[in-house]
Amino acid sequence: MSLSVRILGASGGIGPGRRTTSILIDDDILIDAGSGVGDLRLEQLRRIRHVFLTHSHLDHIAFLPMLADMVYHPDAAPIHVHGLPATLQALCEHVFNWVIWPDFTCLPRPDQPLIRLEPVQPEQTIHLGHRVLRVLPARHTVPAVGYSVSHRDGAAFAFSGDTTSSRQLWPALNALPNLDLLMIETGLPDEMKGMADLAKHYTPQHLREDLALLKHRPRIAITHCKPGHERAIRQQLAHSPHHAGMIFLHGNEHFVLDADHSRTTAS
């Protein structure tokens, strides 16, 4: 048994070959629903039963309305959309409001809607078959969380979502029994620290400092780099803790995390 982590989108922007944040866990769980969802075939979209949103920003939710529309059928199985109460409220008010998009939270019938909203809180755990998801704290311009996914047999993945330096994130990661792969954002390079502080994204300097707090030794996968600044961010992280084996995600990687932690493959 193993945990499949397929990166569908990992860019801080758009352009040829760039897709915004989305991760497919096994074949039925999405974490965020950015433009990377657009590469899934119809039969893959139909298998998604759970979407875990980190926050309400457009680059993380943009393709959720399209996903709902693609799989919609009067007898379609529901999609459980998990997020902080503020995230779910923003979706209802600003997206599924009959103006921007039909309200799939009450279609086809209000008592049996396609989209079932499931509020979460930091540190909550959610059991889905042989996987356990844990809600991780994050610090961003809107209420935000990250998620970890642990296989019953031990393999574990964690994703920070969008966050700046957070005193709560690292103790939460250290509290996991183990961690094989950590996907963490570095939105802007050090020379754009002012903008990064305003937009509450990590810079390489902040991430270097915080990675020293991590007790686990996972592979580190950097995501959400702003297009045009990827090279600078990579160079500025070159001497960070855990740099050996650090991966800079493009958005087409597939990791298979083995239960005995002995193999992490990417393709």
Q: Is 28 exposed, middle or buried (0-12, 13-18, 19+ CB in 10 A)?
A: middle
Q: Which one, of 193, 257, 250, lies nearest residue 223 by Cα?
A: 250
Pairing of strands 247-248, 219-223: parallel
Least Å from the CB of residue 172 to Zn ion: 19
Torsional sign, CA 188, 8, 260, 137: positive
Nearest-approach distance from CB 60 to Zn ion, in angstroms: 6
C-beta closer to Zn ion: residue 57 or 134? 57
CB of 200 to Zn ion, least distance (A): 8
The smaller minimum CB distance to Zn ion, of residues 6 and 57, is found at 57
Q: How far is the CB of 187 from Zn ion (least distance, A)?
A: 7
- Residue number, 59 or 210, with CB nearest to Zn ion: 59
> Half-sphere exposure of 137 toward its Cβ, with a 13 Å CA cutoff?
12
Closer Cβ to Zn ion, 131 or 224, answer by number: 224
233 with 194: CB under 8 angstroms? no
Distances (CA, A) of 72 to 69, 105, 106, 146: 5, 12, 12, 28
CA 23 to chain centre: 6
- C-beta of 201: minimal distance to Zn ion in Å? 8
Contact positions vs Zn ion (CB under 5 A): 57, 59, 162
Which residue, 150 or 164, is less far from Zn ion as judged by CB? 164
